């Protein structure tokens, strides 16, 4: 068997093969949050032994390109959870690439329109970033002149990486990769042509690599060194990275320093295919001498070149980038010597128009049926369940049970221990706290019952839109539901028997982004309106069966 297709143990993570999907920026997220389309894109390519995501900014300051999904908020973490779940469901493994662009940004996308940051005030020339040309009009613009990070700010950026790594691990990623390549922040610090500092982060090689090594050590302490990879681009010239006198010594020093840290891997990104960068002869063998851990190679590899590098032992894994764009089944194509599909470069980037075009619409070889997963929903399983209930209505009988205990003041905790479906009891365990705000005599430690009621409505509607859209073949790119209701507390306080203690009216807004026609979206909306369980609970009278049990003190 070709060594490329043999399993590999990556710091205890079992990879099905030695093919890596390289990180590639695709600018498909309008609000910088991953969505169902992101999940579909990566799940389609899950046969790779390892997927490394596109660069994920660790903060607003770290972003240099519009429409790139971040990894620093709870909302982004929830979005990435659907991605990791989809990849893992197909047996794949996935690392998040953590990214700070440094000087490669523009004031129009920086917080408060501030200058981008870098090691020094040396601007990148003869290159562009993707930002606002003018308000409402996006496009390529020259990077703004950066300002130098202070020593305290460098420590804060390291903390941003640690926070992002924790969000990533909580979101289900198998590990993280530090983007220290391609002319971005850490690469800028390593270069004496860009880094003109005279403090402990500039000057000598040891000083220039200090920021990278401090960040690696902080990440290793936070999530474990075996979950940390590093991407570097020795002798890279992308984004105005110019040659400097001690370049070869820098990469030897970096390799030796990384060798002592028991990392998951080092990812070498060679740039001859995208720049005029020339790596000195023998560099790969020298890097292997200096670094003894797992090495990934990327940059214009063919299957035959990959075979040669693996056989020589200079590399352990091979990353492919652009071939994965138009060949979601790249591993299978290479294994079977099937021809590779060409890609449309005009669709490599962009979130406007139809985001799925050039992103998730490349078919597997032989026009194989598309994945049954849509919006994170297994459409085949959904249809099978519906057909089963249609034939045996008792299988659709569901009973849910919640037990709530008052704790003190206005705080209570509800416990979910099981539910019953089709006569079968299924165990589960969740706790849901509720409390009132200070103004309503509570301690404000949790949402109050009315907020939980609205959250339950919104969650039920969300399931309805995602599942019905999947059944209709509609891809949901983003979905947000906002509910609002006004109560007159005179009813609750018993001050006026003519005042309804509940809601007289509740309004909700559904914000849905999809590629399909308005007519199909309206049909989807009607289907959800007719079938939503909690919408029916809100809008129709329910027969309540109360029982009072008095327990003697």
- Highest mean predicted confidence (pLDDT) among 276-280, 437-441, 468-472, 473-477: 437-441
- Alpha carbons within 13 A on the beta-carbon side of 38: 31
Nearest to 61 by CA among 159, 151, 165: 159
Task: Please determine, for residue 138, whether its predicted confidence score (pLDDT) is greater than 80.
Answer: yes
- Alpha carbons within 13 A on the beta-carbon side of 428: 12
What local confidence, expressed as pLDDT, does residue 325 receive?
95
Which of 8-12, 161-165, 259-263, 351-355 has the weakest average pLDDT? 351-355
What local confidence, expressed as pLDDT, does residue 509 receive?
96
369 pLDDT tier (thresholds 50, 70, 90): very low
538 pLDDT tier (thresholds 50, 70, 90): confident
Note whether 3-60+68-95+152-371 and 447-553 share their fold. no
d(CA 171, CA 69): 14
In CATH terms, the superfamily for domain 373-446 is K homology (KH) domain (3.30.300.20)
What local confidence, expressed as pLDDT, does residue 430 receive?
87
Nearest to 393 by CA among 423, 350, 373, 435: 423
H/E element, 426: strand 424-434
Regarding predicted confidence, which is higher, 549 or 352?
549
Average model confidence (pLDDT) across the chain: 91
CB 4 within 8 Å of CB 19 = yes
What local confidence, expressed as pLDDT, does residue 66 receive?
94
CATH of domain 3-60+68-95+152-371: 3.20.20.70
Task: Please determine, for residue 144, whether its predicted confidence score (pLDDT) is greater than 50.
Answer: yes
Q: Find the mean pLDDT for residues 297-320.
A: 92
374 pLDDT tier (thresholds 50, 70, 90): confident
Six-digit token string for 254 = 């970096």
CATH of domain 447-553: 3.30.300.20
What local confidence, expressed as pLDDT, does residue 345 receive?
87
d(CA 318, CA 5): 11
Distance from the Cα of residue 358 to its chain's centroid: 19
- Highest mean predicted confidence (pLDDT) among 27-31, 359-363, 437-441: 437-441
Domain extents in the chain: 3-60+68-95+152-371, 373-446, 447-553
What local confidence, expressed as pLDDT, does residue 455 receive?
94
What local confidence, expressed as pLDDT, does residue 368 receive?
47
414 pLDDT tier (thresholds 50, 70, 90): very high
Which of 153-162, 232-241, 310-319, 515-524 has the weakest average pLDDT? 515-524
pTM: 0.69
Residue with tokens 């894109």: 41
Regarding predicted confidence, which is higher, 218 or 475?
218
136 pLDDT tier (thresholds 50, 70, 90): confident
CB 143 within 8 Å of CB 105 = yes
Q: Is 336 helix (H, G, I), strand (E, B) or coil?
A: helix
């Amino acid at each position: 068997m070709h060594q490329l297709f043999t399993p590999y143990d990556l710091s205890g993570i079992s990879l099905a093969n030695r093919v890596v999907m390289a990180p590639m920026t695709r600018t498909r997220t309008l609000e910088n949050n991953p969505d169902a389309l992101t999940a579909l894109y990566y799940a389609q390519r899950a046969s790779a032994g390892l997927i490394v995501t596109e660069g994920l900014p660790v903060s607003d300051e770290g972003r240099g390109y519009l429409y790139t999904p971040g990894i620093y908020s709870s909302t982004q973490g929830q979005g990435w959870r659907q991605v990791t779940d989809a990849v893992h469901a197909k047996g794949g493994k996935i690392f998040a690439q953590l990214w700070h662009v440094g000087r490669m940004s523009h004031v129009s996308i920086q917080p408060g329109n501030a200058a981008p940051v870098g090691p020094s005030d040396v601007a990148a020339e003869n290159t562009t970033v993707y930002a606002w040309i003018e308000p409402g009009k996006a496009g390529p613009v020259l990077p703004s002149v950066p300002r130098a990070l202070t020593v305290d700010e460098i420590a804060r950026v390291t903390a941003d990486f640690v926070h992002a790594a924790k969000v990533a691990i909580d979101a289900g990623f198998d590990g993280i990769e530090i983007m220290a390549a391609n002319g971005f922040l850490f690469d800028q610090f390593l270069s004496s042509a860009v880094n003109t500092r005279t403090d402990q982060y500039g000057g000598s090689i040891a000083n220039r690599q200090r920021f990278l090594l401090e960040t690696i050590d902080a990440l290793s302490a936070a999530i474990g060194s075996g979950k940390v990879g590093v991407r570097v681009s020795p002798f890279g010239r992308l984004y105005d990275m110019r040659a400097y006198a001690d370049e070869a010594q820098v990469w030897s020093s970096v390799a030796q320093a990384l060798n002592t840290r028991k990392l998951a891997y080092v990812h070498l990104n060679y740039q001859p295919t995208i720049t005029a960068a020339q790596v000195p002869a023998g560099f790969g063998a020298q890097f292997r001498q200096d670094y003894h851990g797992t090495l990934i190679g990327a940059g214009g590899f063919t299957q035959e070149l990959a075979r040669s590098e693996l056989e020589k032992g200079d590399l352990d894994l091979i990353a492919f980038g652009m071939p994965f764009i138009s060949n979601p089944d790249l591993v299978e194509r290479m294994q079977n010597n099937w021809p590779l599909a060409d890609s449309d470069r005009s669709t490599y980037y962009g979130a406007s128009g139809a985001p799925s075009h050039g992103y998730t619409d490349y078919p597997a070889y032989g026009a194989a049926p598309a994945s049954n997963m849509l919006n994170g929903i297994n459409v085949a399983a959904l249809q099978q369940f519906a057909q089963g209930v249609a034939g045996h209505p008792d299988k659709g009988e569901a009973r849910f049970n919640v037990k709530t205990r008052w704790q003190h003041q206005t705080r209570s905790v509800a416990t979910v221990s099981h539910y019953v479906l089709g006569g079968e009891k299924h165990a589960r365990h969740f706790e849901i706290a509720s409390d009132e705000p200070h103004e309503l005599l509570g301690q404000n430690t949790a949402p109050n019952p009315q907020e939980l009621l609205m959250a339950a409505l919104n969650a039920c509607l969300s399931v309805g839109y995602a599942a019905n859209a999947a059944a209709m073949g509609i891809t949901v790119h983003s979905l947000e539901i906002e509910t609002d209701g006004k109560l007159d507390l005179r009813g609750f306080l018993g001050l006026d028997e003519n005042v309804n203690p509940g809601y007289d009216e509740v309004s909700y807004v559904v914000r849905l982004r999809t590629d399909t026609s308005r007519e199909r979206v309206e049909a989807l909306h009607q289907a959800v309106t007719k079938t939503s369980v909690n919408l029916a609970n809100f809008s129709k009278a329910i027969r309540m069966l109360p029982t009072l049990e008095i327990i003697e003190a």
